[in-house]
Every structure is written in structure tokens, then in C-alpha cells.
Structure 1
Amino acid sequence: MYLYHFGLRELPFTLTPNTSFYLGLEPHNEALAVLLTALKTGEGFIKVVGEVGTGKTLLCRKLLNEIPTHFVTAYIPNPYLKPDELRRAVAVELGVKQAQRMSVQLLTERIQQRLLELHSQGHSVVLILDEAQALPAESLEALRLFTNIETETRKLLQVVLFAQPELDERLAEKSFRQLKQRITFSYSLRAMTALEVEHYIQHRLQVAGYKGMNLFSRAIAKKIAKVSLGIPRLVNIICHKMLMLGYGEGSYQLTTKHLALAIQDTEGMQSKVPKKFFLLGFLIITAVSLYYSWHVTGISI
């Protein structure tokens, strides 16, 4: 692709959450500080909410990497589970043997025993759920009941919920008022500002090994911030496509034309760019493909 052209070791704008690219911007640093502080208190539920693409999963993985060593973590990335399935998933994460074969009653007892065992060894246990807005109603209630397990001084299980704003809408319902009262710490991730977007782009390029002249000017970065609304995932998509287009033209400086083409090729943004730019982009990408087939693979055209 464009790695050699721009002198990169790896792709800087992939959508896979990679903690090596983590940038401590204000919203993410604040969220991480809230999480670590809340976990130290040992109380109930902790909630981090953010729009799609704001970096919740990356933050979740950063927490897993930096959580103090006395914590035992149970991580469930896909919580669309029925209560029984959720219990078994938690049991497996905590090391309960033969969790898949037990009755629900015995499984609940074994989970409680395991929590008490870990507590006696000086461990704190935290259950971390990503995409928590997908939890069925019955499973949300099962989570609340999990946190009833406690000693005279502290909860034996803390729960961290990473979710989209839809979770807040669900918790506003009267049927979830008991669970909502258990949420002692909460943080809402915001999108990036224009300056943060510029810093974010340069940071990811540097981590990926780029050492050349500034690829994305301040004016370009500002425009990227505007069209992406400061959402990291959209910034990644646009920047990746701009690099592809720059490579296709043999250019080492990205321009507003590349930005316009990238927007045109991104779902939900096409209406903002004239169709002639889309046609030009199509021709560029086609030319690159033909060049690659002829000069790299040796296939006759």
C-alpha cells in the first residue's frame, strides 16, 4: 500500500483499537482517571458513555493494561447475553471450573465462593463490559444482583460499563431505577476539538514511524475536524483514504482535493462534495490498481 511511499512502519489510521497509538487527550485522560479513582473506592457500578467511534474500546483496553496488579479482571467484549449466559461468561473469566455444566443455582454459589476466595487473597474483582448498551433487560438486572455480594466493608465485585448513549436512555426508565442508583461514578466522552484532531493526526503518524515533512497542514486538519465532528474513528477513515489518494498520485503533500475525495468516498458524507471529485478519485484508484498489477504482480493487462 502506501507504507514505503510515506516511510511508515505500519498503518497509522487503522480502525483496530491499538493501545500503542493511545494519545492522552483531555477527555480520555479524565475518563481513565475517573475509572482508576472509582475502582480504588470499591463501590458498585462505574459507567463511561460515548458516541460511536469516540474511543471507548481503546480506553477499555488501556484500562485493562494499566489497572493495578491486585485487581482480577473479567472482561466481556460482547455482552449481548442472556442472564444465564452472562453468569457463565463471568464464571469462566474468574476461573470457575466446569462453569458450563452447572445448574444456575450451583453456578451462582460457585461465583460467590470464588469472589470470597479472591477477596481473602487480597484481590479486588472488576467486571468490565464493552458495548453495554446491548445488554438485555434481564441481564442488566442480573448484573445488579451480582453486586449484592459483599462483605461488611466492601463490594466483592465492581462493574465497569462502557456504552453508547442508548444505555443512559434505558437507565432513565423506571424499571432500572435500582441499577441507576448503584452507579456511583460516571463519565461522558466528548469528541475532539480542532486542535486535538491536529495533535491526534500527527501523533499517530509519528507512532507509525513517519519522519518527513508535515503531511496534513493545520488548515487540512481543521477541515478534517469539522467534517468528522471530532470523532476519532471518522478521522482515521478520512486520513487513511487521503494517504491512499496521495500515494496514487505520487504526492507527498495532502491537499483539499484529497480531503474532498476522501469525504466523497465515506458513507454519510458524500453529499458535501461535487460528483466530479468522486469520478477523479475513482480514476486515480483504478490507475493505482492497474499499475500494481503490471509492475508488482507481473500480470498482463
Structure 2
Amino acid sequence: MQLESPVIAEQQWRPRRWRRIRWVVLSLVVAGALWWLRSPGGLGIPSAVTSADVERAEQEFRRAQQRDPDAAERLLALAENLARRGRVAVAVECVERIPVLDQRSGLRSRLLMAQYCLRLNQAFRAERAASELLLAVGESGVGDDRGAAAVQVRTARELLVFLLSLQFRFEERQLALRELRQGGLLEPLLTKQLYFPSLLAWRTPQQNERLQQFLKESPQDARLVAAHGRYLLGAGAVEEARQLLDGAVAMSPGNLGVLSAALECRFEEQDLAGFRDLLAVCFVLAIPLLYSTVEAQVVPGTGVKLNQVGDDFEDE
């Protein structure tokens, strides 16, 4: 009986050994990936979400769509299910993990996030989510589409109009209203706000109550503090308004909206020296913005700036 050479045996065993090791490692990786995908922390799912929450949301999705959800749809279904059961903060964590450019769920995720953040009195996050939605849509002409995307765009802009009105940011509100008009989506009440911006005073007890809810959640938001100061200014509490507005300027010294509110207060106080000093700061901050705007406004093919066209030079 001829014995097999130990060297040959070793050479034959080694490939088999490494093949087995590779299969074991691959199996562990696949098992780990499957566990990660199904676990509460998988797919960016918040740790507060349980396996039962995931299963419930998936079942609802399958009943409605007759198919399994993809990763983003799973998060979206989770968020809607959780919000209906009062777990709005966790629902926000779900939707904010969905990429805004996701083809199926991106726009809706930002709209839901804006709406949920309003329920949580988080004005800044609500505004940011609505702005992200509109930025993602861009100039694609979706406003002419009467489908779901157009509804989401209109709702986001209306939400922005509400937030901007509440904070007395009327110049920014006018831009949002014009976008709605261009898309043919302007409701009668919003039409009044566009063409008669001072028709609604927006200094009501209900407005102040809503503003206080936002401030309670975000007391260091300079824009909300400035809005409160403007409310007090309109109510005649000039000294209290001055304290709030000076504090808002200290929080955000480069915010032109906050500075304009402080300017309004100094004008009401007839503090002309303070008005002049603050106006100089505003002018310095506004120069780069004005310059970049003018540079962008060039007549195509001519190099002539739009601000040089018209009657500006007739008196020279």
C-alpha cells in the first residue's frame, strides 16, 4: 500500500481549507447583513423603533401597494405609522434619514418632516425641510404638473408662507407667493397677501400664542426672538421690544432680517443716532449681496447689466 506524500496531501488540503473558510466568512457576512437590515438600527432606522413597529409598517405598505417596500419606502411607512400613533419625534427621525433626491420618497419625506416639525413647534427645522423640497424640485417645471409632486410643492410653499408671515418676514414671503402664482397654485387668501401685503396685520393674540410655542422650543432662534420683538413693537411695548431685538442682534449679528427689525425699533424710538449706526452695519453686510445680484443680472449676449437699462442714466 502506497502512502500519500505529506507534501502532496498538504497541497491538496490547503485549497479546500481556504474554500471552506471563505464560505464561512461569506455566510457570516450575509447573515450579518440580513440581521442589520432587519434590526431596529438597520437602514438608518432610529433605535427607538422596534421590530414590531417595522413589521406593522411593512404590512400596511404591502396591503396598500401589493409589493415589498424599498429602504426609503420602509422608513416613510414607519414615519406615517408612528405619527398616527403619536410618536411624532421618532417619525421625524425616520423621514430625515431619507435622501431628498430619492426618486420615490424624497419629496414626500421632506413634506412630512416639515409638517411633523410644525407639530413639534420646531419652526427652523420645518422651514429647512420645506426649503429642501423646493430646492430639490428646482426649476424643473413641476408646478405645471397636476400630479402628486405639484401638490407637495404647493403645500411646501404654503407652509413657508405661514412660517414667514408668523415671523414678519414679508419680503421673503412675497417671493414664495410669486412662486405659487407662477405655478398657477395661488389660493384666494394668498392672492390677497401677494397683492395687498399689509392687508393682514399679523399682530394678533393667536399669532403671538403660536410664536410663543415656537420660542419655547427654540429660545435661541434669533429670527423668532426678532419676530416677538416686532410683535411687541406693534403692540406699543417699545422698551421691551428694544431689549428683545438687541438680544436677537447679539445672537445673530449678520442676519439682515434681524437687523431690519432692530432698525424698525430704533426708528419708532426716534433714536436717530442708533438708527444711523445700525444702518451703516446693514449697508456693509448688504454690499456683497447686492454686488452678486447685480453681477448675475446681465442681458444675455450683451454684457450689459440690467440695472443700467432704463431711465437710470437720463439725468446724467
Give the shorter-chain TM-score range: under 0.3
Q: How high is the TM-score relative to the length of structure 2?
A: 0.22
Structure whose alpha-carbon radius of gyration is higher: 2
Whichever structure has more strand as a proportion of its residues is: 1
Whichever structure has more helix as a proportion of its residues is: 2
Q: How high is the TM-score relative to the length of structure 1?
A: 0.23
Structure ranking higher on relative contact order (CA contacts 8 Å, 6+ apart) = 1
